[in-house]
Amino acid sequence: MNRQVLILTTTLYFLSFSSTNAVTLDWIKQIGSAGRDDSWGTSADGLGNVYISGYTEGDLGGPNAGISDAFVSKFNSAGDLLWTRQLGSIANDYSRGVSADGLGNVYVSGHTRGDLGGVNAGSYDVFLSKFDSAGNLLWTEQLGSNASDEDWGVTADRLGGVYVSGSTAGALGAENFGSYDGFVSKYDSDGKLLWTEQIGLSRIDQSFGVSSDGLGNVYISGFTFGSLGGANAGQTDAFVSKYDASGNRLWVQQLGTVGLDESNSVSVDGLGNVYISGSTEGDLGGMHAGGTRDVFLSKLDQAGNLLWTRQLGTSRLDVNGGVSADRFGNVYLSGHTSGDLANANAGPSDAFLAKYDDEGNLVWTEQFGTTRIDSGFRVSVDGFGGVYLSGRTDGSLSGPNAGSSDAFLAKFSDPVPEPHSVLLGVFACVSLTLPIRGKRGARQKQTFNKLG
């Protein structure tokens, strides 16, 4: 079967976009094959480049090895595609995380049912791959138990540490405490596994977000049905946990309402403040907007003390995709909405991007989409006013759709402000993820080759 790859530039004619703020949309790039293509991860390297990762059922960077392959693409700040690499086995392979180390290397994480960097231990295994700046694959490592192990993100710090976070139904770093536990694993830059820590109770506990602070500490966020860092407030509570460079757990904080609450992303600013974002069915940081779910954003200090929580939503479904804090104390929140956050919704679902200052004030919100389903997943900042949002579209954001769904990357320019305070020269590294959960707490997994 002939397969076609399209790289398309922004044509505003196809967009429903509203902007009344200083922030501007620079460009949107749409990348796709004749199959289904999704972008789940994005990371700016601070050198003028940005990376996205995801999965493809087609041929984006080489012939497809199986049903679905992982991929990673590199763009420059002007939106030019520099290269795409495809990684796969004869089974299903997906990437959910990408992180640039600031030295020209990029790390891609995901999970596979096949043999990418070793023999599959059972069901899904986690994998971690390293590429150089030219897109050459340097190594791939595979990690798994005899049960299902799933990656949800990766972050590389400036000290040579690489951290992968996810969920396991087996025993990766300790005895499994329930049906699913969260985990975080640390590798060195040569792919050597240094340690794995597992966190969980007797019920379902999962880790989705991971971020490092540049000082050797790593943070994970997720949800728990139990009491990891305090008494459970309802069904599932969000949690965030901090570990030192040796894998010692320093603290866990839990946040919840009587409904379903979960965090799927975490980011650290230059002062060591921690931001987590996610979804809530209750009132975490304000009155619930009346829809199925609202997005929330919480700020904690480096000791784990909660400083504030903000809630964002419409009367429809609002889903968080990611969070990224810059060195000036600004925080960017991404996701998708079925309602009207910044302007009238163009279709069933629009992507959105929101900015908060370090005191939790909402500065602006942008919403864009087509008449089809458009989902914003990940967000990353480059330190120079560039804000990047990756996701998936079933429509035509910047030209004809190449297949059933295409990956996209959008760049916004946000003028660099005068900082409220002087921040340390430590840059946060972040890779973010998106869990899918049901109304009644039943854990739902994205089925990549059957998405509607």
Give per-residue pLDDT as tens, 7-28: 333 333 334 444 446 899 999 9
282-313 confidence digits (pLDDT tens): 888 777 766 788 999 999 999 999 999 999 99
Instruction: Look at the alpha carbons of 80, 86, 92, 97 in this order and tell me if their dihedral is positive or negative.
Output: negative
160-171 confidence digits (pLDDT tens): 999 999 998 888
Q: Count Cβ atoms below 10 Å from residue 287 Cβ, excluding itself.
A: 9
Q: Report angle CA 36, 376, 313 to the nearest 5 degrees.
A: 140
Are 238 and 285 in contact by the 8 Å Cβ rule? The answer is no
Range 63-76 average pLDDT = 93
- The CA distance from 7 to 330, in Å, is 31
Query: What is the C-alpha end-to-end distance of the chain, expressed in Å?
Result: 23
- The CA distance from 127 to 144, in Å, is 9
CA 183 to chain centre: 16
- The CA distance from 147 to 168, in Å, is 7
Residue 183 has pLDDT above 70, yes or no: yes
- The CA distance from 198 to 177, in Å, is 9
pLDDT score recorded for residue 418: 53
330-373 confidence digits (pLDDT tens): 999 999 988 888 888 888 889 999 999 999 999 999 999 888 98
Q: pLDDT exceeding 70 applies to what percent of the chain?
A: 87
pLDDT score recorded for residue 148: 82
DSSP state of 126: E
Residue 104 has pLDDT above 90, yes or no: yes
Confidence tier at 121 by pLDDT (50, 70, 90): confident
- The CA distance from 55 to 129, in Å, is 14
Between 339 and 30, name the one with better pLDDT.
Answer: 30
Identity of the residue numbered 172: L
Element (H, E) at 240: strand 237-243
238-264 confidence digits (pLDDT tens): 999 999 999 999 999 999 888 898 999
Nearest CA among 209, 179, 221, 153 for reference residue 441: 179
Which domains are assigned to the chain?
Answer: 6-441 (2.130.10.10)
Enter the pTM of the model. 0.86
Strand ranges of the sheet holding 261-268, from the earlier edge strand across to the other edge = 261-268, 274-280, 294-300, 306-312
Residue written as tokens 């595979």?
142
